[in-house]
Structure 1
Amino acid sequence: MDTRKLSGTLVPSAARLVTAPLPELLAEANAQIFETSVADDTFYGEVVRPHAGAAIVCLPKGRSARERDTMARILVGRLLGTPMAPIPASLEVRTYGGAQ
């Protein structure tokens, strides 16, 4: 497994983030995908961290499989603290709820 320890937590490398099966990454992040009906073309997804339970990776319906997969990996990477190259400013990534 291509990971490193950061503050006691295993963090997948950027290479692993793009090559590992998405279900495996979601399990590592204790996250699940939820399809949202947000119809805004500028909304690509978000992560919600409830106080208890799994994190929720919200992705809009109607996007291509490739776009959904890419956004899910970016959001899971941010959730896990994976060091990544800067993403475009138009793709602002925020995490809501839970501990910051």
Structure 2
Amino acid sequence: MISSILLAAQPTVPYSGAGWSLAQPVIIIGACLLCLLIIPRVVWYPHVGPKMPLPFPSVFNNPSVGTFLAAMAAGHLIGVGAYLGLTNIRYLAS
């Protein structure tokens, strides 16, 4: 037998991220740039291998291809997490 209180409860569903807005790429690009500024300075061997032809090599610490890919992967993970977190707390309108 199902209780009537269980039928009256309405489940809350978090934001699924199905829509698209301009805030998504802005947050992810910002997170990627932040990671590109930080990660080449904390990786043990950031200059091993072929270098990325980035503008302003002194700003980005002239990273190798592997360091660049690691920074972009971390930036995407942080950016997606930040966007989903901000939309889940209803800070960003979807």
Normalising by structure 1, report the TM-score.
0.29
- Please tell me whether Structure 1 or Structure 2 has the larger radius of gyration of its CA atoms: 2
Whose strand fraction is larger, Structure 1's or Structure 2's? Answer: 1
Q: Determine which structure has greater relative contact order: mean sequence separation of CA pairs < 8 Å that are 6+ residues apart, divided by chain length.
A: 2
Q: TM-score, structure 2 length as denominator? A: 0.31
Larger fraction in helix: 2
